[in-house]
C-alpha cells in the first residue's frame, strides 16, 4: 500500500489527532503568554528580578525534553497534564525575553515626555510601551508556538496523544507509512503555525514600523500637490 492511500484510509484518525495536537499546542501557548508576558513586564520594571528570572528560564531550557517529561510523570502522572506543563516551561523563555527586550528598547526621551504630559505609569505601559513593543513580543510568541508543535509531538511518549501518537505507533510497529502519516502533518502544522504567527506579527506592527512608509509618504505627496 503506498503512503497516500494509507493516509487517506486513516483520514478520520489523522484529523482527530491533528485537532488534538492543535488544541494542546494552543492551550499551552495561551498559558505561556499569560505567564510570560506579565513576567517580562515585571522584570523590565524591577531590574533586580531580571537576572534570576531569565536565569531560571534559561536553565529550564537546557534540560532535555525527554528527561523533563520523565521527571514530571511521578508528580503529574501521564497524559496531557505533564505535556502541557512541559510545553509551557519550554516556551516561556522566548516570550519573557522578547517582552522585556521590547519594552526596554523604547526611546527614553519619548517615555519621559509621556510621563511629563501626565500619563500614569500604567497608561504609559498600556498605551505607549506595549503597542510599540508588540512586534517584538509577537516574534517571541511565534518562536514559542513553532517549538511547541514539536514538543507536543514528543509528549505523545507519555500518552498526551496528538500526531506524535501516530509516529510512536509507527516506530514500535516498524511501519514507515504510519510514521510519515504522523510526521508529515506535524511538519505542515509547524509551518502553518509559523505562517499564522508571521501574519499576527504584521497585523500588530504599528504603522510607523511598517515597510510601506514610503508608499504612504508618496500618497500624501500626491494629495498635497
Partner 1 sequence: MIKFKNITKKYGQQAVVSDISLRIEKGDLVVLIGPSGCGKTTLLKIINRLVKPTSGDVLVNDKSIFDYDEIELRRNMGYVIQQTGLFPHMTVRENIEIVPRLQRHNKKAIAERSAELMEMVGLEPNIYLDRYPFELSGGQQQRIGVARAFATDPEVILMDEPFSALDPISRLQLQDELAELQRKLKRTIVFVTHDMDEAVKIADKICIINNGSIAQYDTVEEVMKNPADSYVEGFIGKNRIWSSPQLIQVKDVMINDPVCIYDNATIRRSIEKMRAHKVDSLMVIDKSNTLLGVVLAKDMQLVQDKRQQVRDVMLLDFMTVRPETDIVDVINIVNNGSLSSIPVTDESKALKGLITKSSLLTTVTQQYIEPKETVS
| Residues lying near partner 1 in the complex (CB under 8 A) | 107, 109-110, 112-120, 123, 127-128, 131-132, 206-209, 213, 216-217, 220, 223-224
CB 209 to partner 1: min, Å: 8
Contact 146, 190 (CB under 8 A): yes
CB 98 to partner 1: min, Å: 18
DSSP 3-state of 67 = helix
Q: Which residue, among 187, 200, 165, has the nearest Cα to 29 in the 3D structure?
A: 200
Cα separation, 139 vs 130, in Å, equals 14
Query: What distance separates the 2 farthest-apart alpha carbons in the chain?
Result: 73
Half-sphere exposure of 68 (CA within 13 A, CB side): 19
C-beta closer to partner 1: residue 20 or 98: 98
Helix axes 176-204, 11-45, angle to 10 degrees: 40
C-beta closer to partner 1: residue 123 or 173: 123
Cell of 41: 513586564
CB 33 to partner 1: min, Å: 21
C-beta closer to partner 1: residue 136 or 167: 136
Hunting for cell 529550564 — which residue is that? 60
CB 45 to partner 1: min, Å: 18
C-beta closer to partner 1: residue 172 or 210: 210
CB 207 to partner 1: min, Å: 5
C-beta closer to partner 1: residue 26 or 110: 110
Amino acid at each position: 500500500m503506498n503512503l497516500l492511500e494509507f493516509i487517506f484510509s486513516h483520514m478520520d484518525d489523522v484529523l482527530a489527532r491533528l485537532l488534538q495536537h492543535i488544541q494542546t499546542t494552543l492551550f499551552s501557548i495561551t498559558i505561556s503568554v499569560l505567564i510570560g508576558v506579565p513576567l517580562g513586564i515585571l522584570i523590565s520594571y524591577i531590574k533586580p528580578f531580571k537576572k534570576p528570572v531569565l536565569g531560571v528560564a534559561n536553565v529550564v531550557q537546557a534540560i532535555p525534553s525527554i528527561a523533563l517529561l520523565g521527571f514530571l510523570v511521578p508528580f503529574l502522572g501521564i497524559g496531557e497534564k505533564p505535556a502541557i506543563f512541559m510545553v509551557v516551561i519550554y516556551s516561556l523563555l522566548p516570550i519573557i525575553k522578547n517582552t522585556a527586550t521590547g519594552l526596554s528598547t523604547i526611546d527614553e526621551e519619548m517615555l519621559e515626555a509621556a510621563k511629563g504630559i501626565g500619563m500614569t505609569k500604567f497608561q504609559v505601559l498600556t498605551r505607549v510601551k506595549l503597542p510599540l513593543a508588540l512586534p517584538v513580543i509577537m516574534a517571541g510568541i511565534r518562536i514559542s508556538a513553532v517549538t511547541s508543535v514539536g514538543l507536543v509531538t514528543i509528549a505523545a511518549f507519555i500518552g498526551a496523544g496528538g500526531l506524535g501518537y501516530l509516529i510512536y505507533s509507527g516506530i514500535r510497529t516498524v511501519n514507515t507509512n504510519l510514521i510519515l502519516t504522523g510526521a508529515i502533518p506535524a511538519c505542515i502544522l509547524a509551518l502553518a503555525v509559523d505562517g499564522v504567527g508571521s501574519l499576527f506579527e504584521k497585523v500588530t506592527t504599528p504603522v510607523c514600523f511598517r515597510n510601506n512608509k514610503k508608499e504612504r509618504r508618496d500618497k500624501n505627496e500626491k494629495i498635497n500637490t
